[in-house]
Structure 1
Amino acid sequence: MNWQLFIGHAVFLGSLLITMIIILAFKFLRRKRQRRSPLHGKTIGNLPGQQLLERIDKASEETGFGVDLMILALPMLFLIWATLRINWTQVRFGAVELIFVVGWLLFFGYGFRQYQHHSKLREQARDGLLAERVTGLQLNRLVAHGCLVLHDLPCGEYNIDHIVIAPRGVYAVETKSFRKPKQVNPGTPAKVEFDGDALKFPDFSTRSPIEQSRRQAKSLAGILRDVLGDSVRVDPAVALPGWWVEKTETGKVSDVFVFTPMGRGCEWFTYGDEIIPTAKRNLIAQALATKYPPIAQ
């Protein structure tokens, strides 16, 4: 049997093998170096329609595979058909062939770069989605204590993750997801310190979530003032699912409430005297509900 007849097959299988080796090596090295989600291994309740969303994602993947197969079927088979008709004894490696090899390397490198970039974005989006789901599910339990809770309130170019309208006040809650350092043992609590100005994690610190929550609280207060014609105080809050929050003395008296929604962390919103009566809480909720786009019949 003439082995040259299978060069087309070898090219396809070689490309597949090289791609799989590089992808698997990339995943292995990233898993070895990457930080771990503080929610890893936690049992998270399902949201309404979550199983349907998972089925939609699975069906989308299979649909995409079907479309890719339809597009590539003819070129792949044509490639194999064409290679069977090439006299490989007369083929010589020269400048033209080198150009094609360089072109393949450039396309392959660009594709791998895109894979790395979007793989990281997908991972961050999944962490953020899980953190918001955990926070939302825990905040929903406050309804039993006279609180009203809204999620993903549209505010022009951005959304406010959660809004808690409690007897003690109105809060704009921003949820953030940060991964634990690799050196922290799986059984060790992930701790973050809040000094009233910044969040100090084991290996870095950031002020961004605190500043963002303050801006959103100020924006929400402006919205309520415009809609109700009355000033309503809105306090900022930052939820850090999976993190144990330790506060300094200035952190304890800060205008920003930093908390974990896990366990009894959300119960803080139910403490204290009633400042906003039930009627006004309902009025605030109705005013904010108008920000959601209506669904036409």
Structure 2
Amino acid sequence: MWADFSLILIPLLLSILSMGVAVAIIYCWLRKQNRHYRESPLTQDLMRPPGYSLQLKVNELGDEVTLYLMFMLGAPILLYSFHLSESYFGGEPESALRTAISFAMGMGVVGFLGYRLSKTLDEKKKYALGLQGEMFTGEELNQLMLDGCRVFHDIQFPYGNIDHVVVSPSGVFSINTKMRGKPKHGDGRAELIVDYQNNVLRFPDYEHPIPHNQLEAESNWLSKHLTSAIGNQVKVQPILALPGWFIKERIGRGLVTVINPTKPNRFFVNNHITLSATEMQQIAHQLEQLCRNVKPSYRAKKK
């Protein structure tokens, strides 16, 4: 009886063994890289690029998609192997009921995995769209360095991350990028009305509240951090960037400035000087400490 039972488990044991071999190969490869006589020549951490946090999330979701696809392909084969093992090694007679149960189990597993795959793909698309928005905004803001500004990206703080920070002679600005899809058809489909009086963004087909609480929390935290670090009061102005949208009209004024990040000089560079070159350097140094934390690949950890 034990022999029959062990034969039935052969497909499962082979699957577990193949997964174990794959994990062992990856582990041995990583160990080998750590012992290799060559490593990355970089001796300090890298700066966080625009959208770095979202890129990590997109990569993570991409790995999940791969796993779901592998399971969707492997699960029916595994269930079919169980069915054949019970028939030819376990002595179970073939019947319409057994076949229907095996088929239903296979369809149930594939259906569940397909549902999870669909949800993961939707989530990956959302993060990928946000990543494109942050990359676009970051590329536009980087042009400000030609005007003597300092630009930093993806700064981590206790409640998430600040997408971008600009340090200019006119002040310090924290920028949050929101990427919103637009309708495929219709006039004015990329036009936006910013209604500060009612605290809403009026898109062509819907309205969305201006996330002033989130942006003010980011700017307030950064202001306190920089003030404590350099010993002088540093005011940080919150900015909301909406790439790809033409701001048709602004109604009233608010604490959060909403902009299209294309050609950002008009928002960050003007004749109103509030920071000296020394203060800009001090602030930039503190911001660099916050975002220079990307570890180079293939560099051995120091013991």
TM-score interval for Structure 1 and Structure 2 normalised by the shorter chain? 0.5 to 0.7
For the pair 1:291 / 2:294, whether they are aligned, the reply is no
Query: Could you say which residue in structure 1 is the equivalent of 2:202?
Result: 200
Q: Deviation digits for residues 113-159 of structure 1, max 9, x if unmatched?
A: 11111111110111011101100010000011121111111213411
Alignment-derived partner of residue 160 in structure 1: 162
* Matches of 1:259 and 1:144, distance apart in 2: 20
Out of 170, 173, 187, the residue aligned to residue 172 of structure 2 is: 170
Q: Is the 8 A contact 1:189 1:244 kept in 2?
A: no
Q: Distance in 1 between matches of 2:171 and 2:291?
A: 22
> Do the aligned residues in 2 keep the contact of 1:192 with 1:200 (CA within 8 Å)?
yes
- Counterpart of 1:121? 123
Q: Which moved more, 1:131-140 or 1:107-116?
A: 107-116
Query: What's the CA shift string for 1:93-117, capped at 9, x where partnerless?
Result: 12x3333233223212211211111
Aligned ranges 1:1-297 → 2 under 5 Å: 79=81, 91-94=94-97, 96-184=98-186, 190-196=190-196, 197-207=199-209, 209-250=211-252, 253-262=253-262, 264-292=263-291, 294=293
Separation in structure 2 between the aligned mates of residue 101 and residue 256 of structure 1, nearest angstrom: 57
> Residue 198 of structure 1 contacts residue 210 of structure 1 at CA under 8 Å; is this kept in 2?
no
Q: Secondary structure of the equivalent of 2:239?
A: strand
5+ unaligned residues in a row in structure 1: which ranges? 1-46
Distance 1:201 1:266, change over 3 A: farther
Q: Is the 8 A contact 2:222 2:236 kept in 1?
A: yes
Tell me the number of residue pairs that the alignment of Structure 1 and Structure 2 aligns: 229
The AA in structure 1 aligned to 2:221 is: S
Compute the displacement of 1:278 (Å).
Answer: 1.4
Q: 1:143 to 1:265 in 2, by over 3 A?
A: closer
Residue 261 of structure 1 deviates from its aligned partner by 1.6
Structure 2: stretches of 5+ with no match in the other structure: 1-48, 296-300
Residue 167 of structure 1 and its aligned partner are, at CA, apart by 1.3
The answer to which structure, 1 or 2, has the higher relative contact order (CA under 8 A, 6+ apart) is 2
Alpha-carbon distance between aligned partners in 1 of 2:134 and 2:157, rounded to the nearest angstrom: 17
TM-score (norm 2): 0.65
3-state DSSP class of the match of 1:174?
Answer: strand
SS in 1 for 2:233: coil
The amino acid of 1:270's aligned partner reads V
The alignment-based identity, stated in percent, is: 25
- Give distance in 1, aligned partners of 2:255 and 2:271: 16
Distance 1:172 1:91, change over 3 A: same
Identify the residue that residue 28 of structure 1 maps to in structure 2.
none
Say if 1:176 and 1:209, in contact at 8 Å, map to a contact too.
no
Q: Report SS of the residue matched to 1:216.
A: helix
Aligned to 1:39: none
What corresponds to 2:23 in structure 1? none
Deviation at 1:208, TM superposition (A): 5.1
1: CA distance, partners of 2:184 / 2:102: 42
Contact 1:167 1:270 in 2 (8 A): yes
Tell me, yes or no, if the aligned pair for 1:260 and 1:266 is still in contact at 8 Å.
Answer: no
Equivalent-residue separation in structure 2 for 1:287 and 1:199 (angstroms): 33
Decide whether aligned partners of structure 1 residues 182 and 210 sit closer, same or farther in structure 2, where only a CA change above 3 A counts: farther
Asked whether the 8 Å contact 1:142–1:267 carries over to 2, the reply is no
* Matched-pair contact (CA < 8 Å) for 2:193–2:201: yes
CA distance in 2, matches of 1:161, 1:271: 23
**Secondary structure of the corresponding residue to residue 134 of structure 1:** helix
Greater mean deviation of Cα atoms: 131-140 or 109-118: 109-118
SS of residue matched to 1:180: coil
